Structure 1
Amino acid sequence: MPITKSQLHKVMHERKSVRKYDASFKIPQEQLEELLVEATSAPSSSNLQPWRFLVIQDDAVKKELRTIANNQEQVETASAIIAVLGDTKMYENAEAVYTKNFELGYINETTKDFMINNSYKLYAQLPQETLTNIVTFDAGLISMQIMLLAKEMGYDTVPMGGFSKEAFAKHFDLADHIVPVILIAIGKAAAPAYNSSRIELNNIAKFI
């Protein structure tokens, strides 16, 4: 049967990376909070939800951030910058995560205890590089949800990996276990984004 084009399909194809924003437009904080709550439905490794967010709305702070982010204009003109961070000590939240799942009736007590113990046993002994890779992967999953949800709410976004992560961590005094992953500018477009082509499927996929 042919695939019916849904609202999700529409949002996916209307979402473009916008770099020109109306600097006078401000998204209410309540809407930013709602956006992040909805985005946390994203999957994550062992459901440990390692994403953390620093939402920068203050104009002076955005101006400071612009120097860290390769002088990208949208850092200063977007309504907000959502910095998506990863917590490499996410396994320390295992007890809270799985206890809540148990209380909500999603898992039984045996599964709860197993998952708590297994999370500590597995993740606590991993090298920092491996933990960073895990939280970076999970941050990517939630970042895409943030951008799609933002578009559905009528806002535009652009993801930015072009910034000094070391300078960001130092400037915002991040703990050693909090890893900057991506910056997402969000706001009201002042100019349309460029369209972009995609590589043909037969050049990127093989079915066996």
Structure 2
Amino acid sequence: METTVDKKNVRDYYSVVRERRSVRHYDPSVKISREELTEMLEEAVLAPSSSNLQPWRFLVIDEQPLKEKLLPIAYNQQQVVDAAAVIAVLGDKNAYLQADAIYQSAVDAGYMDEERKQLLVGNALRGYERIGEEGRKDVVLIDGGLVSLQFMLSAKARGYDTVPMAGYNAQQFREAFDIPDSYATVMLIAVGKASQPGHPTTRLPIEAVTFWNRLETK
């Protein structure tokens, strides 16, 4: 069944996704309040996650001495110290152990009954135990990617800029910021206001990356 959509919302969405750039040069004088960063994270966590277990965890680094501490760990990328904050996106590989509390909140909200809750809790505990730590790491990396992009789009919608960063020494980061072994490191995201716009990029034509019903490779 076809549905109609609000054209204003579609235009707003188009402007956000089409204007987002990976920005590496930030105005160090621009600050973002913790209240607004929290609002962006609240919007980000509306992203989907496996079994709704929401394994993402965020370490928000907005104090200048800590950004300076992070700088060499991130291979001296200047955006680390010039951006308003750096969000370290982490994934809790043991998030499935909170299944009971998560599904209980759905019961309390009237979204499911107790019988359904018990079924889902049992499935989560058995399933995530079965796949082991490496399997759980794969899951939280996927979920971490989803929440990261949603954060970046939320930031852009508010007029801020971001850059996702995989270029850092994960082990040194763990040691410097006391990241427990049960957390996977997903990425760092610098967020602030661009001092130079991100450069435009090209994309492969959609025909080169899309297949219908069967994969055709050469």
Residues 168, 180 of structure 1: 8 Å contact kept: no
- Give deviations 1:145-180, integer Å, cap 9, x for gaps: 000000011100000011111111111111110111
SS at match of 2:68: helix
- Post-superposition offset of 1:84: 0.4
Which residue, 84, 88, 105 being the options, matches 1:83? 88
Alignment of 1:10-21 (within 5 A): 10-21=15-26
Which residue, 159, 162, 179 being the options, matches 1:157? 162
Alignment correspondent of 2:64:
59
Unaligned runs of 5+ in 2: 214-218
Which residue, 161, 179, 188 being the options, matches 1:183? 188
> Which whole-Å CA distance do the structure 1 matches of 2:201 and 2:99 have between them?
41
> Which whole-Å CA distance do the structure 1 matches of 2:206 and 2:41 have between them?
32
SS at match of 2:204: coil
> Which whole-Å CA distance do the structure 1 matches of 2:95 and 2:67 have between them?
28
Alignment correspondent of 2:133:
128
SS at match of 1:81: strand
- Give deviations 1:47-93, integer Å, cap 9, x for gaps: 00000000000111111111111111101110000000000001111
SS at match of 1:105: coil
Q: TM-score scaled by structure 2?
A: 0.92
Q: Is 2:122 the partner of 1:117?
A: yes
- Post-superposition offset of 1:6: 2.3
Residues 19, 193 of structure 1: 8 Å contact kept: yes
Shifted more, 46-55 versus 5-14: the winner is 5-14
- Post-superposition offset of 1:125: 3.2
**AA paired with 1:102?**
V
Alignment correspondent of 2:172:
167
**AA paired with 2:102?**
V
Unaligned runs of 5+ in 1: none
Percentage of pairs with the same residue: 43
**AA paired with 2:95?**
M
> Which whole-Å CA distance do the structure 2 matches of 1:72 and 1:40 have between them?
27
Q: Is 2:100 the partner of 1:108?
A: no
> Which whole-Å CA distance do the structure 2 matches of 1:129 and 1:100 have between them?
28
Alignment correspondent of 2:206:
201
> Which whole-Å CA distance do the structure 1 matches of 2:156 and 2:177 have between them?
28
- Give deviations 1:104-127, integer Å, cap 9, x for gaps: 011111110111111111112322
Alignment correspondent of 1:49:
54
SS at match of 1:125: helix
CA RMSD of aligned residues (A): 1.3
Residues 88, 179 of structure 1: 8 Å contact kept: yes
> Which whole-Å CA distance do the structure 1 matches of 2:132 and 2:99 have between them?
18
> Which whole-Å CA distance do the structure 1 matches of 2:123 and 2:132 have between them?
17
- Post-superposition offset of 1:203: 1.1
SS at match of 1:52: strand
